[in-house]
Homo-oligomer: A and B are copies of this chain.
Amino acid sequence: MTTIPAQIQDDADLVETTLESILKDLAKGPAPKLVEAMSYSVLGGGKRIRAALVLGAARLVMNGPENEGVCRVAAAYECLHAYSLIHDDLPAMDNADTRRGRPSCHMAFDEATAILAGDALQTLAFDLLAGPATHADGAIRAGLVGDLARASGAAGMAGGQMLDLEAETRPFSLDETRSMQALKTGALIRAATVSGGRVGGASPDHLAALDGFASRLGLAFQIADDILDRKADAATLGKPSGQDDNAGKASYVGIFGMEGAEAEASRLIAEAGDILTKSVTKTSPQLDYMLDLSTFIIRREY
């Protein structure tokens, strides 16, 4: 496994601290047991890629360090992501007993608690974005809520999950698989990057460049996932490369082969980098971070 670059690790630590403080306050409320289940799932790990994109995009636009508002937006994206994982793992969905090497939320608590913890983490994400501490301008805060809602609802992540359920009942072409993955994971990656820019005060042109960068990054992320799946299958499960758990879903590796998929991911990351570089007047540590982050995202396990 590639070691996580120092700044990405620092950002993961920063969002962890922010989340801890938010959840500690929430645990003083009427339902500490629920907050315990939420904390179990949202704290303690992960590469925090969505948070890093929020922080990185905001700093690029601000040309300097992040503030409390930016951290709240980063935390909101991690809450939303954690909710989607809790519900994905439920018996009626992927029926996953473990997550990141420990019991999934419904195994550590129970199914009813896991449903509610996911529900409340989604709510918390919107609560964080809308709160006055996030930005002085209400229109920015409402814009942040809109970014996340569009990316995660029926026309975004939840819609992608639904298509994923459908993919178990009939064969999906590469185009269909691509659309499904773009909704399932790509939409949130784009929204995190755009929202980072928005809370940092980006101009419409800046936002468009961030969106262009993140859309390529999202696609590269999906290809990298495909590659990781195949490598994991071949290494751990002893399955021949090229066979997926879900044979009905076309995949990049299945169609283009391992080398072809790796080349396509690299091409997309280079294109993403060009878009972002052209949108700024000069290079900066903030730009370098975004470029490092995009490379890390596709190289994260290989």
Contacts and interface: CB of A to CB of B under 8 A. Distances in A.
Contacts of A160: 30-31
Nearest to A149: B127
A295 interface: no
Interface string A126-154: 11011110000111111101101110111
B113 A90 contact: no
A139 B137 CA distance: 7
Interface stretch (A32-40, A57-65, A97-105, A255-263): A32-40
A129 B127 CA distance: 12
Interface string A150-168: 1011110011111101100
Interface residues of A, number: 57
B123 A145 contact: no
Contact of A29 (B87, B148, B155): B155
Given A30-B183, A126-B145, A141-B138, A154 B115 contact: no
B139 A34 contact: no
B179 A119 contact: no
Contacts of A123: 122, 149, 152-154, 158
Nearest to A84: B119
Interface in A163-221: 163, 165-166, 179, 183
A287 B136 CA distance: 35
A237 interface: no
B154 A34 contact: yes
A275 interface: no
A244 interface: no
Copies in the complex: 2
B120 A158 contact: yes
B137 A31 contact: no
A284 B141 CA distance: 36
A129 B30 CA distance: 26
B126 A165 contact: no
Contacts of A137: 138-139
Contact of A146 (B119, B130, B161, B183): B130
Contacts of A138: 137-143
A93 interface: yes
A54 interface: no
Interface of A: 26, 29-31, 33-35, 38, 83, 87, 90, 92-93, 110-113, 115-116, 118-120, 122-124, 126-127, 129-132, 137-143, 145-146, 148-150, 152-155, 158-163, 165-166, 179, 183
List 7 A-B pairs, minimum CB-CB distance, nearest first: A138-B139, A31-B159, A127-B149, A123-B153, A92-B111, A130-B145, A141-B142
